[in-house]
């Protein structure tokens, strides 16, 4: 009898504590992919209180699947298989305890075209209504997704994800409908103010613990690749930014010398059998990256169809040999650092929209540099024959 009374008291205390905390609520919700092909998606969400994770997915043919993760957590991540990569419309919802999201729609590559938007320098949270009207299937970035980590988290904290949660909360419709594949910039790792001189403690978390915790991505997460064989393209993301600060307390990016893990990984991505179109994203100045490691990086970038950076507050298209280099920035009205081979330079807030189509003979990539009203500032069509091999 005493044991029963004790159990009842414990339950009452727990219920009283939960009531005092308020009802469970789902806060941020976003979609990523941690596979080198889109065979799976990861549904991510945060809740006000810890609890178990449940995700429900309806395939295009009506098949309904429920996935559960036991245990208590506020950051929820559930990996779901897709019926067919890059095909069809999926519906999903998530649940933790009594809190349940509405049904959301995930639309993957209808009408034979794949649309990928790329943004960078996301500090000011501008309106992305025009980008949403383009209905991208994937949203990628070229770095600097948040202003810093220390303002919301406190100095020196490397695992705090509040800035990323706030980003997702600002664009609920976008993040609940589009697969998000971000790339690192220095601000994504900044755990302390930079200052004018090298401080005694590191300013950046080189390992990007918060970013990697919040965004399940392929490979090493700091650098990753995503193949879309249905549209003949491989995307590769690098951890390159503030490359001049290596070896100091201002160092932000991973090592990039020819013996480094990042360089060896990227060389493998370039040289191994792959789709004919290669697109690489990073956050350092294009001209600078081409000259890193005595030009070794430039040789690898020379295997690309195009490269995208989010360095600086401007929009740009440059041409070096057969490779087109783009720069994009949601804040596009700051200082400009033109590429020596610049062909188009604009000072407007901007983003990139890449539209892929594939025939039996070639892959066509239309790249549009657009302002935030949706107006096209620059457009170029890239066509790559399917008979081309990965090592040109």
Average pLDDT over residues 297-316: 97
Domain 23-108 fold is Immunoglobulin-like (2.60.40)
Confidence (pLDDT) at 12: 37
Report the C-alpha gap between 94 and 54 in whole angstroms: 6
Average pLDDT over residues 98-120: 92
Strand order, beta sheet including 315-320: 224-228, 233-237, 277-282, 306-309, 323-327, 315-320, 342-346
The two beta strands, 104-108 and 323-327, are unpaired
Mean of the per-residue pLDDT values of the chain: 92
Which three-class secondary structure state does DSSP give residue 103? coil
Report the C-alpha gap between 26 and 168 in whole angstroms: 12
Domain range summary for the chain, segments of one domain joined by +: 23-108, 110-385
Q: With bands split at pLDDT 50, 70 and 90, how would you rate the model's confidence at 108?
A: confident
Average pLDDT over residues 40-48: 97
Average pLDDT over residues 251-265: 98
* pLDDT over threshold 60, residue 324: yes
Report the C-alpha gap between 381 and 384 in whole angstroms: 10
* pLDDT over threshold 70, residue 252: yes
Confidence (pLDDT) at 321: 96
Residue 247, number of CB atoms within 10 A of its CB: 7
Same fold, 23-108 and 110-385: no
> How many contiguous H segments (helices) and E segments (strands) does the chain have?
9, 19
Q: With bands split at pLDDT 50, 70 and 90, how would you rate the model's confidence at 389?
A: very low
Residue 257, number of CB atoms within 10 A of its CB: 12
Confidence (pLDDT) at 31: 98
* pLDDT over threshold 50, residue 390: no
Better pLDDT: 86 or 363: 363
Report the C-alpha gap between 16 and 54 in whole angstroms: 24
Confidence (pLDDT) at 84: 80
Average pLDDT over residues 229-246: 96
Sign of the Cα torsion 73, 77, 78, 79 reads negative
Confidence (pLDDT) at 392: 46
| Sequential DSSP letters for 102-129 | PPEEEEE-GGG-EEEEEE---TT----H
The two beta strands, 350-358 and 114-119, are antiparallel
Confidence (pLDDT) at 110: 67
What are the tokens at 120?
């960078």
For 110-385, which CATH class? alpha beta
């Amino acid at each position: 009898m005493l044991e029963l009374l004790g159990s009842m008291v414990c339950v009452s205390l727990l219920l009283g504590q939960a009531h005092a905390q308020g009802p469970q609520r789902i806060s941020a919700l976003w979609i990523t992919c941690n596979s080198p092909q889109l065979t799976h998606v990861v549904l991510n969400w945060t809740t006000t209180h810890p609890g178990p994770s449940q995700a429900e997915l309806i395939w295009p043919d009506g098949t309904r699947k429920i996935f559960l993760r036991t245990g208590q957590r506020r950051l929820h991540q559930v990996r779901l298989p897709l019926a067919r990569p890059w095909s069809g419309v999926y519906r999903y919802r998530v649940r933790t305890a009594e809190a349940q999201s509405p049904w959301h729609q995930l639309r993957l590559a209808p009408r034979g075209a794949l649309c990928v938007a790329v943004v960078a320098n996301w500090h000011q949270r501008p309106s992305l209504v025009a980008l949403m009207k383009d209905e991208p299937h994937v949203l990628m970035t070229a770095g600097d997704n948040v202003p810093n980590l220390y303002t919301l988290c406190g100095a020196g904290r490397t695992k705090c994800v509040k800035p990323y949660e706030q980003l997702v909360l600002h664009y609920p419709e976008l993040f609940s409908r589009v697969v998000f594949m971000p790339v690192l910039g220095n601000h994504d790792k900044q755990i302390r103010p930079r200052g004018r001189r090298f401080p005694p403690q590191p300013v950046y978390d080189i390992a990007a613990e918060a970013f990697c915790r919040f965004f399940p991505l392929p490979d090493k997460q700091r650098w990753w690749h995503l193949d879309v064989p249905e549209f003949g393209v491989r995307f590769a993301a690098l951890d390159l930014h503030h490359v001049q600060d290596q070896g100091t307390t201002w160092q932000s990016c991973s090592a990039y010398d020819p013996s480094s893990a990042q360089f060896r990984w990227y060389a493998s991505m370039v040289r191994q059998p792959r789709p004919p179109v290669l697109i690489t994203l990073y956050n350092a100045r294009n001209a600078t990256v081409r000259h890193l490691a005595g030009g070794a990086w430039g040789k690898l970038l020379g295997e690309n169809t195009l490269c995208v950076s989010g360095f600086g507050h401007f929009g740009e298209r440059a041409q070096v040999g057969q490779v087109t280099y783009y720069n994009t920035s949601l804040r596009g009205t700051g200082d400009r650092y033109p590429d020596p081979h610049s062909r188009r330079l604009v000072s407007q807030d901007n983003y990139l929209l890449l539209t892929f189509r594939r025939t039996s003979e070639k892959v066509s990539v239309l790249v549009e540099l657009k302002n935030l009203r949706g107006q096209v500032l620059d457009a170029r069509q890239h066509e790559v024959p399917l008979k081309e091999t990965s090592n040109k």
